[in-house]
Amino acid sequence: MSAASVPQLEDLPLQHGTRVLVRADFNVPVDVNGSITDDLRIRASIPTIEWLRKHHCSVVLCSHMGRPKGQPDPKYSMAPIARRLGELLGVEVATSPEVAGFASLSEAQNLAPGGVLLIENLRFDAGEESCDPAFEVNLSQLADVYVNDAFGAAHRSHASIVGPPRVLPSAAGRLLAREVEVLGALLDQPRKPFVGILGGSKVSDKLGVIDALLARCDTILVGGAMAFTFHAAQGLAIGDSLVEPDFIDRCRVLLESGRIHVPTDVVIAQEMSATATSRHCGAGRIPDGWKGLDIGPETAGAYAEAIAEAGTVLWNGPMGVFEMKPFEAGTRTVAEAVAECGGFTVIGGGDSAAAAKQFGLDDQIDHVSTGGGATLEFIEQGDLPGLKALRESSMRKH
Q: Which residues are catalytic?
A: 41, 202, 350, 373
C-alpha–C-alpha distance, residues 198 and 288, integer Å: 26
Confirm if 88 and 51 have CB atoms less than 8 A apart. Answer: no
Cis peptide before 190 (omega within 30 of 0): no
Q: CA-to-CA distance for 156 and 133, rounded, in angstroms? A: 16
Q: Are 190 and 216 in contact (CB under 8 A)?
A: yes
Q: Is residue 67 exposed (0-12), middle (13-18) or buried (19+ Cβ within 10 Å)?
A: exposed
Q: Rounded to whole angstroms, how far apart are CA atoms 360 and 363?
A: 8
Distance in angstroms between the alpha carbons of the first and the last residue of the chain:
18
Cα–Cα distance measured from residue 205 to residue 95, given in angstroms and rounded to the nearest whole number: 37
Task: Name the DSSP letter for residue 190.
Answer: P
3-state secondary structure of 304: helix
State how far the Cα of 348 lies from the Cα of 314, in Å rounded to an integer.
7
Q: Could you give the CA distance from residue 306 to residue 290 in angstroms, rounded to a whole number? A: 29
Nearest to 122 by CA among 170, 63, 174, 67: 63
Residues 6 or more apart in contact with residue 338 via CB below 8 angstroms: 197, 307, 313, 315, 345, 347, 356, 361, 365
Q: Which helix (H) or strand (E) holds 255?
A: helix 248-255
